């Protein structure tokens, strides 16, 4: 295991010419007989936030789950096409899925800390992935991850208390700290603020904005205001198709596709 990943030594914060971190080519998903995605080709650029928007049931979460093979956990799901991470096919049968999910982490809609202490929640991933050589290094990863998730100050005196005892917004930042602790390259977020109040949402949105300096982020959101606030690129899904993808500013001011126009003006969704 590369220890530099454990100590967050990353390259330059934001590059001008963004390289493609993940590429999807003609990705199709079926649940049994039902087709949920119809050949999605989409490039995810590094170190920026890509928002996935579109009406309910259009396939946003299904697509997100393809990016770290979470659809493998759904018996009826069948994924075809190619998804590349740094040019490598993540559906290669030889690929270690546990390692993939450390590189492409996930934060869910409902904060889901383990029923363990705050410290254990963050230390668990680095421990199972062998990212720390000793106790001090593990301690360092836990503290750094909590700091980067903007939670450290609030919890530093009660790291041994249960993670489930925190407020909803704190729990979600704990889940983000837990995701960060294994030094992922990509973080997938499935409506991460939908269970949070407006103040906790604003805190998490600020955090997402900071995290993009070091991580590639893909976020599913129902809130167009949120997509506009946090993302640089927006992809609009509609009935299993990728209707349009482009710079967020353009997508919300002057979209090319009628489906995007109708969605952002509230005509459906
Ligand atoms: N586990 C599953 N089994 C069967 N069908 C599923 C499953 N998950 C999703 N689907 C179907 O696939 C389609 C896409 O669903 P998906 O949840 O990806 O859409 P979404 O855009 O994320 O929706 P929402 O915004 O409501 O969360 C829908 O028709 C949905 O009913």
Residue 167 in contact with ligand 1 by CB distance below 6 A: no
Q: Is the ipTM of this complex over 0.95?
A: yes
Q: Go through the domains of the chain in sequence order and give each one's CATH number.
A: 18-264 (3.40.50.300)
**Structure confidence at residue 13 (pLDDT):** 39
* pLDDT for the residue numbered 18: 83
- Residue 269: per-residue pLDDT: 58
Phi, psi of 84 (to 5 degrees): -110, 140
Out of 28, 59, 67, give the residue to mutate to test ligand 1, the one with the largest number of ligand atoms within 8 Å of its CB: 59
Ligand 1 centroid from CA 23, angstroms: 22
What integer pLDDT is reported at residue 9 of this predicted model?
35
Two tokens, residue 17: 């010419």
In the chain, the N- to C-terminal Cα span, in Å, equals 44
Confirm if 236 and 242 have CB atoms less than 8 A apart. yes
Which pLDDT belongs to residue 200? 87
Which pTM does this prediction carry?
A: 0.91
31 with 74: CB under 8 angstroms?
yes
In the reported structure, the alpha carbon of residue 219 is separated from the centroid of ligand 1 by a whole-number distance in angstroms of 16
Gap from CA of 30 to ligand 1 centroid (Å): 10
pLDDT value, residue 235 = 98
Q: Tell me the pLDDT of the chain (269 aa) as tens digits.
A: 343 333 333 333 344 568 999 999 999 999 999 999 999 999 999 999 999 999 999 999 999 999 999 999 999 999 999 999 999 999 999 999 999 999 999 999 999 999 999 999 999 999 999 999 999 999 999 999 999 999 999 999 999 999 999 999 999 999 999 999 999 999 999 999 998 899 989 999 999 999 999 999 999 999 999 999 999 999 999 999 999 999 999 999 999 999 999 999 987 65
Instruction: State if residue 31 touches ligand 1 by the CB under 6 angstroms criterion.
Output: yes
Q: Write out the two tokens for 222.
A: 């129902």
Tell me the two tokens of residue 193.
């603020």
User: What does the pLDDT read at residue 11?
Assistant: 35
Q: In what order do the strands lie in the sheet with 34-45?
A: 34-45, 20-31, 77-85, 88-89
Whole-angstrom Cα distance, residue 169 to residue 151?
A: 10
């Amino acid at each position: 295991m590369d220890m530099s990943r454990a100590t967050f030594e990353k390259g330059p914060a934001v590059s001008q010419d963004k390289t493609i971190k993940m590429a999807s080519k003609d990705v199709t998903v079926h649940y049994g007989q039902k087709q949920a995605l119809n050949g999605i080709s989409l490039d995810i650029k590094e170190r920026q936030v890509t928002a996935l928007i579109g009406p309910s049931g259009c396939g946003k979460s299904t697509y997100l789950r393809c990016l770290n093979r979470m659809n493998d956990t759904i018996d009826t799901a069948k994924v075809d096409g190619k998804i590349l991470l740094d040019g490598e096919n993540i559906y290669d049968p030889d690929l270690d899925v546990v390692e993939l999910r450390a590189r492409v982490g996930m934060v869910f809609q409902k904060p889901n800390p383990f029923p363990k202490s705050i410290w254990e929640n963050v230390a668990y991933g680095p421990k199972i992935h062998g990212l720390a050589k000793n106790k001090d290094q593990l301690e360092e990863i836990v503290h750094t991850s909590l700091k980067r998730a903007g939670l450290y100050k609030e919890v530093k005196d009660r790291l041994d208390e249960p993670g489930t005892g925190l407020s909803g917004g704190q729990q979600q930042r704990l889940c983000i700290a837990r995701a960060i602790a294994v030094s992922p390259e990509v973080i997938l977020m499935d409506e991460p603020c939908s269970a949070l109040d407006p103040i906790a949402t604003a805190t998490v949105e600020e955090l997402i904005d900071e995290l993009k300096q070091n991580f590639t982020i893909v976020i599913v959101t129902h809130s167009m205001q949120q997509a506009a606030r946090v993302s640089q690129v927006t992809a609009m899904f509609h009935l299993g198709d990728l209707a349009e993808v482009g710079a967020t500013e353009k997508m919300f001011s002057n979209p090319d596709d009628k489906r995007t126009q109708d969605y952002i003006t509230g005509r459906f969704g």
